[in-house]
Structure 1
C-alpha cells in the first residue's frame, strides 16, 4: 500500500502526477501487459510515462489544450489508456465510448458531440466515425489491419508517436477538473453526461486500495468494460495509486483463456461479468443426477464440515476456480448492481467472496453550445480500405 511520510499532504493530486510518481518510484517495474499473437507484451512504468508525455506533445502540436476533449472509441487496450492520460496531461478530458454499444445510438451521440480529437481502436471504429460524418482535427488509431492511412485521413498511433517529441509541459491537469466524461441518451431522449474529476477518482481509488489492501504485487485484468465510470474509479485510479500491473487480453474471444493463464489477484467486474462467468461454470458442471454432479453438489454445500471442506477443495473448488481464472484472486470486486443471490452463493461456495462497490454515477444535461458546421471527415468521398 502507498504511504507518504507526511500523512498524504504531498500525494499527487491528479492521474498524470501519479503516473510520474510511479515512474520515479519503480521505473523498471511492469505497469502494463498486453497479449498479442499469444505473447504478453510489456510496458514498464518509465516507458509508460515517456510514451504518455510524447503522445501529449503530439496532441499539443495539433491544437489540443486545456479544456479540450479526446473522444476514445475502443475496447480495453494500452493505447486507449495512454491516449486518455495524454489528454489529461494537457488539462483535457477523455470521453470514453464503448464500440460494442449499438451503432445507431452511438452515431447519434457522436454527431451531436462532434469531437475535434478522436482515438479509434481500428478499422471498424474508424468506419463508425465516418458513418457519423465527423470532421475531427485529428483522428488516430491503434490497430491498422485493413486501414489505408492515405485514404482514411487518420493517423496510426505508432506513426504519431514516432514523429512526436515529448512535451516539455508539466502536467496541466487540476484536481477539481474533469478527467473522464461519459455520454448517453436519457429517458426522454436528451443528451446526458457523467463527468468524474481527478479528485473524485483519487479519493475513491485510495479508499479501495486501503480497504482491499492492494499493493504493487497485484495482477489485474481489464477485459471487457473500459468505457465505464466504475472501471475508472475502481481499476484505473487504483492502478496508478498502488502501482500494480494492469493486463489486457488479446481480444474478447480470448479473455477467459487469458484470465486462466494470468490468474489475476484483482478482478473488477460488473453484474454482467460475474453473471457470464457463473453461466460458464454451470455449463462445465456434470449433468444433474450423475455421480460426478452429486460429488460437486456435496463439495459445494453450505457450511461444510472439516472433511467435506478439505476434500471438496481439492476435488472441486480448486479446479473450478482454475477454470474461471480465480486461482489467485483475493480481491473479487463487483462495481454497480449486486449479483443475483444464486450467483453470489455459488462464488462464495468456491471461496470467492465477491464484494460490491457502488458506482455513484451522476448523469446531468450538458450545457448547451452551438453545433459546429459539418463538412465531412473524408474529402472527395474517399473510403476506408
Structure 2
C-alpha cells in the first residue's frame, strides 16, 4: 500500500473522477462521540478479522491528516485513490476531506496508456495505490512512492473482535472501478452507524461474506451480476428435482415448508441476516436482481 506524490500542472479536469463528501467528517465525529467503542470498520487480514471502533477511526483520520500535511497536502491538493475499498482507503479519503483537498477515485485496472492519459487529465498531486502490480505501473510512470504507515505514524494495532457478528453490518467487496462506490459506501456507513466489513481479497470474498452474514450489501450493478452467477453455481442444476424444489419455494414463500426451504438456502449462501441490497436503479450498469435476493433490493433512484 503506497502513496504517490505527483507533479501538479496548473490546469486539471477532475469532473469524471471527483468525489464530494460534504458531511462525511461531521458524521464520523458524531458516531465517535455517541458510540465511541462500538465497531465501525472490519477487515480480514492474514486470515483474521480486525475491527476499528468509531473512536479509532476518527483518531486515525486525524493522524492521517497530519501525515498528509507533512507530505505537502493542502486545500489546493488533489488526492487520487485506486484499489479495493477497505479501511485504509476510506480513512485516507476522510483525512483528505479533513484538510479540505480534492478527492478522486481512479480504477485500478487501467493499462499503462490509459493510466497515463487519466493522470494527465486529472492531475492528482498525491495518490494512494494498493495492489502491488498497480504500484509497479505507477512507478513505471516515474512516480515516487510514500509509505502508508509513515502517514499514519505509530499506532496500536487494530483489535481482533469478539461476538461482532451479532450486530447489524454492511458489506462491500468493491473497488474504485465502481466510480460512485466511495460516495455510496461512506453515505450508507456514516448515515446508518452500522459497521462496514470488507473481505481479505477478491478471491476470498464469497467465503468471507458467508462468515460475516451481513445485514446489508452495497453493490454495483456489475457486482450484483457476479453475485447472481455465484448463487446460480451454488444451486442445484436446472431440470433436477432439487432445483425445482428451490424454485417452487421462492415462488410461494408464504407457506411454511417453502419458507423453511427458502431460509435454508439463504443460510447456505450466507444471506440469512440480509435485510437490504443497495443498488442505483438509474445507474448505467444496473442489473436485474437475482430471484433469491429480489425482496431485499433497495432501489435508489
TM-score by length of 2: 0.80
CA distance in 1, matches of 2:265, 2:93: 36
Q: Are positions 1:253 and 2:262 aligned together? A: no
State which of 63, 69, 87 in structure 2 corresponds to 1:60.
69
Q: Secondary structure at the match of 2:200?
A: coil
CA distance in 1, matches of 2:266, 2:50: 26
Question: In the TM superposition, what is the alpha-carbon distance from 1:258 to its structure 2 partner?
Answer: 1.0
CA distance in 2, matches of 1:288, 1:85: 47
Instruction: Indicate the residue corresponding to 2:90 in structure 1.
Output: 81
CA distance in 2, matches of 1:69, 1:281: 40
CA distance in 1, matches of 2:246, 2:103: 47
State which of 131, 148, 154 in structure 1 corresponds to 2:145.
154
- Of structures 1 and 2, the larger Rg is shown by 1
* 2:213/2:274 contact within 8 Å kept: yes
Question: In the TM superposition, what is the alpha-carbon distance from 1:263 to its structure 2 partner?
Answer: 0.9
Q: Are positions 1:41 and 2:32 aligned together? A: no
Q: How do residues 5-20 of structure 1 correspond to structure 2 at under 5 angstroms? A: 14-20=23-29
Q: Secondary structure at the match of 2:137?
A: helix
CA distance in 1, matches of 2:80, 2:145: 14
Q: Secondary structure at the match of 1:333?
A: strand
Q: Are positions 1:324 and 2:269 aligned together? A: yes
- Alignment RMSD: 2.4
Instruction: Indicate the residue corresponding to 1:353 in structure 2.
Output: 296
Instruction: Indicate the residue corresponding to 1:312 in structure 2.
Output: 258
CA distance in 2, matches of 1:120, 1:245: 24
* 1:107/1:128 contact within 8 Å kept: no
Which whole-Å deviations, capped at 9, do the CAs of 1:152-186 have from their partners, x for residues lacking one?
Answer: x423212332269xxxxxxxxxxxxxxxxxxxxxx
Instruction: Indicate the residue corresponding to 2:11 in structure 1.
Output: none
Q: Measured at CA, do residues 80 and 291 of structure 1 come closer, stay the same or move farther in structure 2, by a change above 3 Å?
A: same
Q: Measured at CA, do residues 242 and 109 of structure 1 come closer, stay the same or move farther in structure 2, by a change above 3 Å?
A: same
Q: Measured at CA, do residues 326 and 230 of structure 1 come closer, stay the same or move farther in structure 2, by a change above 3 Å?
A: farther
Question: In the TM superposition, what is the alpha-carbon distance from 1:232 to its structure 2 partner?
Answer: 3.4
Give the number of the structure with larger relative contact order, counting CA–CA contacts within 8 Å between residues 6 or more apart: 2
Q: Measured at CA, do residues 254 and 103 of structure 1 come closer, stay the same or move farther in structure 2, by a change above 3 Å?
A: farther
Q: Are positions 1:293 and 2:243 aligned together? A: yes
CA distance in 2, matches of 1:239, 1:249: 16
Residue correspondences, number? 267
* 2:181/2:220 contact within 8 Å kept: no
Question: In the TM superposition, what is the alpha-carbon distance from 1:285 to its structure 2 partner?
Answer: 2.3
Q: Measured at CA, do residues 272 and 15 of structure 1 come closer, stay the same or move farther in structure 2, by a change above 3 Å?
A: same
TM-score by length of 1: 0.64
Q: How do residues 258-297 of structure 1 correspond to structure 2 at under 5 angstroms? A: 258-297=208-247
Question: In the TM superposition, what is the alpha-carbon distance from 1:346 to its structure 2 partner?
Answer: 4.6
**Any stretches of 5+ residues in structure 2 without a counterpart?**
1-20, 156-166
Question: In the TM superposition, what is the alpha-carbon distance from 1:356 to its structure 2 partner?
Answer: 2.1
* 1:75/1:98 contact within 8 Å kept: no
Question: In the TM superposition, what is the alpha-carbon distance from 1:226 to its structure 2 partner?
Answer: 4.0
CA distance in 1, matches of 2:25, 2:31: 10
* 2:274/2:296 contact within 8 Å kept: no
Question: In the TM superposition, what is the alpha-carbon distance from 1:313 to its structure 2 partner?
Answer: 2.3
Q: Secondary structure at the match of 1:109?
A: helix
Instruction: Indicate the residue corresponding to 1:115 in structure 2.
Output: 124
CA distance in 2, matches of 1:268, 1:296: 26
Question: In the TM superposition, what is the alpha-carbon distance from 1:17 to its structure 2 partner?
Answer: 2.0
Q: Secondary structure at the match of 1:300?
A: helix
**Any stretches of 5+ residues in structure 1 without a counterpart?**
1-11, 135-152, 165-216, 359-385
* 1:74/1:121 contact within 8 Å kept: yes
Instruction: Indicate the residue corresponding to 2:142 in structure 1.
Output: 133
CA distance in 2, matches of 1:76, 1:288: 35
